[in-house]
Amino acid sequence: METKLYVGNLSYDTTEEGLRTLLSQAGAVTSVELIKDRDTGRSKGFAFVTMGSQVEAEKAISMFNEKTLDDRAIRVNIARPREEFSRGNKFSKRRY
């Protein structure tokens, strides 16, 4: 089963291809999504990488967490599920 990783503390110079090349040393990389600012197009310094299996994801964590990529010590962890949030204020749905 595919497993999504969070890769953080990336250099602004890191590319999707560079991440794919690095993490493919641990196994099959299904997708790489480098998160970019929608206004400037510049990297926000983190990405989500989908590995082919849980075993490959754990191998990538052990191989690359706290290792240097583009002169930065990167963080590699299992991605947490996205949390739902409301766009209104915290009282918008409360009835008094």
Domain coverage including residue 67: 3-78
Helix (H, G, I), strand (E, B) or coil at 49: strand
> Which residue bears the tokens 């963080």?
75
What does the alpha-carbon distance between residue 47 and residue 82 come to, in Å, rounded to a whole number? 14
**Which residue, 47, 7, 57, is CA-closest to 27?**
57
Q: Is residue 30 part of a domain?
A: yes
Q: What is the mean pLDDT of each successive set of 10 residues along the chain, which is 96 residues long? A: 96 95 97 95 96 97 96 96 66 53
Count of structural domains, the chain:
1
> What is the domain-level CATH number for residue 9?
3.30.70.330
Instruction: Record the pTM.
Output: 0.83
C-alpha to C-alpha distances, 58 to 2, 38, 46, 82, nearest whole angstrom: 12, 31, 18, 20
Q: Is residue 88 part of a domain?
A: no
Q: Is residue 86 part of a domain?
A: no
Q: Is residue 62 part of a domain?
A: yes
Q: Is residue 96 part of a domain?
A: no
